[in-house]
């Protein structure tokens, strides 16, 4: 989001989906998905019929971890930016 160099109002209005509360909610939900993926991976390891399908929970684990990391980085950057002002 580009900022106007001389805005009338100085406070940046973030969209609702980029607020701190929605970022924390996304992290919590993705951690639940990550735990679900770990459970699916453990189950796929134990049952020999599911060995060929281990890639599904592994992909789910990787993607949910990527979302958690990227959202956490966004929150950290925002916190650093706020504390420097």
> Is 80 part of a structural domain of the chain?
yes
Number of domains within the chain = 1
Q: What is the pLDDT of residue 84?
A: 84
The whole-angstrom separation of Cα 61 and Cα 3 is 36
Which structural domain range is residue 74 located in? 16-84
More confident residue, 78 or 3: 78
Q: What is the pLDDT of residues 43-85, one digit of tens each?
A: 999 999 999 999 999 999 999 999 999 999 999 999 998 888 7
Any domain includes 1: no
Cα 82 to Cα 85: distance, rounded to the nearest angstrom: 6
Query: Which is more confident, 7 or 17?
Result: 17
Cβ atoms within 10 Å of 51's Cβ, excluding its own: 10
pLDDT in tens, 17-53: 888 999 999 999 999 999 999 999 999 999 999 999 9
Sign of CA dihedral 65, 66, 71, 77: positive
Is-contact 26 67, C-beta < 8 A?
yes
Q: What is the CA radius of gyration of the chain?
A: 19
Q: Is residue 34 part of a domain?
A: yes
Task: Count Cβ neighbours within 10 Å for each residue of 26-44 and write b for 16 or more, e otherwise.
Answer: bbeebeebbeebeebbeeb
């Amino acid at each position: 989001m580009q900022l106007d160099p001389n805005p009338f109002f100085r406070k940046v209005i973030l969209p609702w989906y980029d607020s701190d509360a929605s970022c924390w909610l996304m992290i919590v939900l993705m951690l639940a998905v990550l735990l679900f993926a770990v459970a699916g991976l453990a189950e796929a390891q134990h049952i020999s019929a599911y060995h060929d399908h281990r890639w599904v929970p592994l992909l789910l684990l990787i993607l949910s971890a990527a979302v958690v990391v990227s959202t956490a980085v966004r929150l950290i950057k925002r916190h650093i930016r706020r504390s420097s002002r």
